[in-house]
Structure 1
Amino acid sequence: MDTLVSVSWLAEHLHDKNIVVADCRFVLGNPDKGREEYEADHIPGAVYFDLEKDLSAPKAEHGGRHPWPDADTFADKLGRAGIDNDTLVVLYDDQKGAMAARAYWVLRYVGHRNAALLDGGYEAWKEAGHSITKEIPERLPATYIPHVQKDWLCGVEDIRRNLGLGEDGAVLIDSRACNRYTGEAETIDPIGGHIPGAVNYDWQAIVDEKGFLKSETALRQRFAELPRDREIIVYCGSGVTACANLFVLERLGYKNAKLYAGSWSDWISYPENEKAKGAR
């Protein structure tokens, strides 16, 4: 099964028994907005995954703005949504795939292999003229057994160890906009800049202006300089948009890419951690 599906494919298979569609819309700074939009209209049969309530753990002193969710807690939520280990989960949002990609990576973390993003998201679905509804589905509960893939994540200690390894260490990718990476215009976190040694690959460059994933050729060119024989650790502000880059790296065949789950907002929660500014 491809990890990216078109709106025409989903329209054809929307009522297949083994498919659950998940709406992942969420607006940073307005945490109720996504659910309100879901309740107003959504793809028929879609359940709702909230970034902060379903795809994150409660905030603490460390762990970033969107701490990584507990696997058993998330598995319980999957079961209540009627999702078992064999269900195909199709994820969408209206933020060019960023929130849906976070859900995708959490699913990967609990061992789910049968998940896909809707190319173009909710806007593409509506522009194609497919049906929408405000009806909230009632799904029969299922049992989800997590098989946690711990190697898909990194923590602050992993990053600290890596900083002293030079060319023998992992490649650090910062997925935020360039002006946040350089520290020129931090719009969310209290401190600007990046982790020393990180290179900037703004996640928004993987999609076109309408939110469709760019061609494989364009994406291979985008990441052409990334080595396949070194570990790659991807981060962003809080471990959300980094997942969009990780989604693409997986599609391009990279087997060595991980997420720094707490990302920049976790890194700066430790005053002793070094912060860099500027283009490198």
Structure 2
Amino acid sequence: MKIFVALISAAVSLLAIEPIVTAQWLNEHKNDTNLRIIEVSEGDLYGLEHIPNAAHTTIAKWRFDNGTFLSIRPVADIEKEISALGIDSTTDVVLYAPINDPKDVLKTSYIYWALNYHGIKNVALLDGGLKTWKNGKLELTQAEPTIKPTAFKASIDSAKIADITYVKNHLGKLPMIDARPSDMYLGVTPTPTVKRNGHIKGGMSYSWNYSVDKEYMLKPKTMLESVFKEGYSLDKNKEVLVYCTGGLETSFNYFVLSGVLGYKNVRLYDASMKEWGNHDDTPMSQYRYEMFKK
């Protein structure tokens, strides 16, 4: 009987949470023992009000200034934060933010990617963030949950990240998607903190915000499927590399492709243009849209 129960528990833990959840779903499951709700916010927003049972984190606990640009923190730092949040490899995680600025959405998608990269697979975003919860007149609290830390050890998935050498070696060999606004991709508008204007040679343009409406609700999955299959000729079973200015914008494209649409091999260039565009010898293009042709 004990073996049977153990097998059932293992099977349940393998059932992945949907990558985007509604406020109604989260309200129904907020007390699930295997679910950890995480608010990503700055300042005192979390203390003023948050979803019941939600723990709290900030983007600074996942990214740091490495002296040149912001990047993912060392593995030991990430393990410490994941453990403090009560998460292990079997936990279902829902991330949300009080969306007062577009970057608030991107902070949740970046942590979504960071969790995947460190071996946490069952992760979701709350569609529309805290606003959809409030619109549903659902309960809010100031009470902080009691969290039992885990002894989490990362299982790094190196296929989810790229460095500058990897990008150089794969130019023209795989599709690359730039998540910045199209004017910055084209180079007609400078990208702040980036010396050279334009985009990685051969990169395609798809601004991350094309995937959401004005309330930051995800657009229909069927439309997104068509965009990337018909418009960008992507193959779900082949690798695609995503990048932006410095890791945040592109994390939403990672979320849509890898999470919502189920692309098998999406690799994020964390340093992105803050590295590539500040080198003098990296291949770049300007003033034209490009499509991947191998």
User: What is the TM-score when the length of structure 2 is the normalising length?
Assistant: 0.84
How many pairs does the alignment contain?
264
Structure 2 unmatched runs, 5+ = 1-16, 290-294
Alignment partner of 2:67 out of 31, 53, 60: 60
Checking the alignment, whether the CA contact within 8 Å between 1:194 and 1:277 is kept in structure 2 is yes
Among candidates 5, 10, 17, match of residue 33 of structure 2: 17
Q: What amino acid is aligned across from residue 119 of structure 1 in structure 2?
A: D
- 2:233 aligns with one of 223, 226, 250: 226
Q: Contact conserved, 2:88 with 2:120, CA < 8 A, in 1?
A: no
Deviation at 1:58, TM superposition (A): 3.2
Whether 2:109 is the aligned partner of 1:101: answer: yes
Quick check: 184-193 or 246-255, which moved more?
184-193
Equivalent position of 1:201 in the other structure: 206
Please give the residue correspondences for 1:1-280 in structure 2 after superposition, counting only pairs within 5 Å.
1-25=17-41, 34-51=42-59, 53-61=60-68, 65-93=69-97, 94=99, 95=102, 97-163=105-171, 166=172, 169-186=173-190, 188-191=192-195, 192-224=197-229, 225-228=232-235, 230-250=238-258, 251-280=260-289
> How far apart are residue 198 of structure 1 and its match?
0.7
Which residue type is aligned with residue 234 of structure 2? P
Residue 199 of structure 1 and its aligned partner are, at CA, apart by 0.7
Does structure 2 retain, via aligned residues, the 8 Å contact 1:181–1:194?
yes
Question: Shift of the alpha carbon at 1:97?
Answer: 3.3
- Identity among equivalent positions (%) equals 29
Rounded to whole Å, the distance in 2 between the matches of 1:71 and 1:125 is 33
Q: How much does 1:230 deviate?
A: 4.2
CA contact (8 A) 2:127 2:218 kept: yes
The one-character-per-residue Cα deviations of 1:28-80 (angstroms, maximum 9, x if unpaired) are xxxxxx233223322222222222x212133223xxx3212222321111111
Higher alpha-carbon deviation: 183-192 or 147-156: 183-192
Question: In the aligned structure 1, how far is the partner of 2:199 from the partner of 2:251?
Answer: 17
How far has the Cα of 1:85 moved from its partner? 1.9
What is the RMSD computed on CA atoms of the aligned residues?
A: 1.8
CA offsets per residue over residues 106-131 of structure 1, 9 Å max, x none? 01001111211111111111111112
Distance 1:140 1:57 in 2: 26
| Bigger Rg, structure 1 or 2 | 2
1:23–1:42 Cα contact (<8 Å) kept = yes
TM-score by length of 1: 0.88
Of Structure 1 and Structure 2, which has the larger fraction of its residues in helix? 2
Q: In 2, Cα distance between the equivalents of 1:127 and 1:48?
A: 21
Q: Which one is further off, 132-141 or 99-108?
A: 132-141
1:225-272 CA-to-partner distances (Å, cap 9, x unmatched) read 232164211001111121111111122231122101111112123232
SS at match of 1:35: coil
Q: Which runs of 5+ in 1 are unaligned?
A: 26-33
3-state SS, counterpart of residue 184 of structure 1 = coil
Aligned-partner SS, 1:67: strand
- The Cα of 1:196 is off from its aligned counterpart by 1.3
Deviates more, 1:196-205 or 1:89-98: 89-98
SS at match of 2:24: helix
Distance 1:162 1:204 in 2: 26
Tell me: CA distance 1:274–1:217, structure 2 relative to 1, closer, same or farther (3 Å): same
Say whether the 8 Å CA contact 1:68–1:262 is kept in structure 2.
Answer: no
